[in-house]
């Protein structure tokens, strides 16, 4: 638990620093009002709060990739080479966190070339600078490539195409899976505002800032939707650009309406803390009937939510107990001080079970007595 707490704290501090950089860049791209509203949305968006506290690299890769895009947009707008180089550095760090953001390298190079509307030696040079800086940082921070390049590239290829094989959340929604997940995982306020401002968004497609952000969102969404494996947490890659686009239009509201939005966010955040604390990643939108509806349509996913709390609760029962833990052993075991096994034994004193998209609980013949529930 101490190591877990330290790593989680380290990750959230780094993500906090990345968010501050995002807010700063957005302030230069648009204005300080939009950047503050964006910061408020990110800081209160329930699923982002939850995933940011996982000991996992999904948030890190997504946050860094989006910061890289913002820096490239800043270069696109003002032309300062430092932003181009910084964007390349940050994208390389995103790819080193997890290989998925590599899909944006061709998109970013296309943006660099398209900036001048025609192919020229200048645009070619800028594109080559971007690729060279990217490659240099990857080589510098990932010395395994120096030692065994063929082995590393083979492992990267395997990770990119087969790492999530057999880990599918694909139900009856097919390519619409992530759109459904987005509806269930977004704050009702964010979802309403985005839909409300969608007509204005379409009208502003001539603005390069809006077009680039929308293209980024669509590239991620199409890539995820067409992939055969579906894992719900990957939807946060779409949430960041969506929050930025929403912030652009919320900033145009008159002060009274803006205060209503801010008050609504505060009330919703208080409800969120009361309902889901401390595992915000378990959030499902109340306007779609929350977890119960997610279970009904087979998209509810328990990736370890509340197992630590169950372990801490059982610790209070004393160490001389046996616990049967059929699922999510990795989420439970670091926090429990007694005896436990993922294999059932008649000697077991307690069973810890969870619901999931493929694991519904209607009753249990092994133990019909419910002692405590979480979440």
**Selected residue with higher pLDDT from 227 and 42:** 42
Q: Which residue has the tokens 């890659």?
A: 237
Other CB atoms closer than 10 Å to residue 292's CB: what's the count? Answer: 11
Give how far Cα 259 sits from Cα of 31, 42, 141, 186, 254, Å: 18, 17, 45, 20, 9
pLDDT at 86 over 60: yes
Mean pLDDT (whole number) for 248-277: 94
Structure tokens at 322: 């046996």
Q: What percent of the chain has pLDDT over 70?
A: 93
pLDDT at 333 over 60: yes
Structure tokens at 47: 């699923």
Q: Residue 163 has what pLDDT? A: 46
Mean pLDDT (whole number) for 122-145: 91
Give how far Cα 126 sits from Cα of 79, 81, 215, 278, Å: 11, 9, 21, 46
**Selected residue with higher pLDDT from 175 and 62:** 62
Instruction: Please state, in angstroms and rounded to a whole number, the distance separating the CA atoms of residues 342 and 164.
Output: 23
Confidence of residue 166 (pLDDT cuts 50, 70, 90): very low
Q: Residue 172 has what pLDDT? A: 65
Residue 187 · residue 40 · CB < 8 Å: no
How do beta strands 322-324 and 339-341 pair? parallel
Residue 105 · residue 90 · CB < 8 Å: no
Other CB atoms closer than 10 Å to residue 81's CB: what's the count? Answer: 10
Residues contacting 44, CB < 8 A, separation 6+: 187, 265, 268, 269
Residue 121 · residue 109 · CB < 8 Å: no
Q: Residue 362 has what pLDDT? A: 56
Q: Residue 149 has what pLDDT? A: 87
pTM of the model: 0.89
């Amino acid at each position: 638990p101490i190591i877990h707490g330290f790593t989680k704290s380290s990750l959230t501090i780094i993500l906090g620093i990345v968010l501050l950089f995002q807010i700063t860049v957005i302030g230069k791209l648009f204005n300080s009002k939009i950047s503050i509203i964006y910061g408020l949305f990110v800081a209160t968006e329930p699923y982002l709060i939850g995933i940011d506290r996982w000991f996992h690299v999904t948030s890190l890769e997504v946050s860094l990739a989006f910061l890289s895009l913002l820096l490239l947009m800043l270069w696109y707008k003002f032309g300062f080479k430092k932003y181009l180089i910084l964007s390349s550095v940050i994208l390389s760090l995103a790819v080193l966190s997890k290989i998925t953001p590599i899909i944006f390298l061709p998109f970013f190079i296309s943006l660099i070339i398209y900036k001048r509307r025609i192919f020229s030696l200048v645009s070619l040079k800028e594109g080559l600078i971007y690729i060279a800086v990217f490659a240099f940082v990857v080589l510098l921070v990932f010395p395994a490539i120096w030692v065994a390049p063929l082995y590393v590239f083979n492992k990267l290829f395997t990770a990119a195409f087969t790492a999530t094989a057999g880990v599918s959340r694909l139900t009856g929604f097919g390519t619409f899976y992530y759109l459904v997940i987005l509806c269930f995982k977004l704050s009702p306020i964010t979802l309403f505002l985005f839909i409300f401002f969608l007509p204005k968004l379409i009208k502003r497609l001539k603005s390069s800032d809006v077009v680039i952000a929308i293209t980024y969102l669509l590239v991620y969404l199409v890539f995820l939707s067409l992939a055969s494996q579906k894992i719900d947490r990957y939807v946060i890659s779409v949430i960041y650009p969506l929050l930025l686009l929403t912030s652009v239009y919320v900033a145009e509201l008159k002060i009274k309406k803006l205060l209503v939005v801010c008050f609504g966010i505060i009330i919703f955040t208080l409800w969120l803390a009361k309902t889901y604390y401390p595992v915000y990643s378990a959030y499902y939108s109340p306007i779609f009937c929350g977890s119960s509806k997610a279970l009904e349509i087979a998209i509810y996913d328990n990736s370890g939510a509340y197992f630590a709390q169950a372990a801490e609760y059982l610790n209070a029962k004393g160490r001389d107990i046996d616990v049967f833990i059929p699922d999510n052993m990795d989420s439970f075991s670091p926090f429990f001080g007694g005896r436990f096994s993922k294999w059932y034994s008649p000697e077991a004193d307690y069973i810890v079970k969870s619901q999931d998209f493929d694991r519904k609980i209607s009753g249990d013949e092994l133990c019909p007595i419910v002692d405590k529930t979480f979440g």
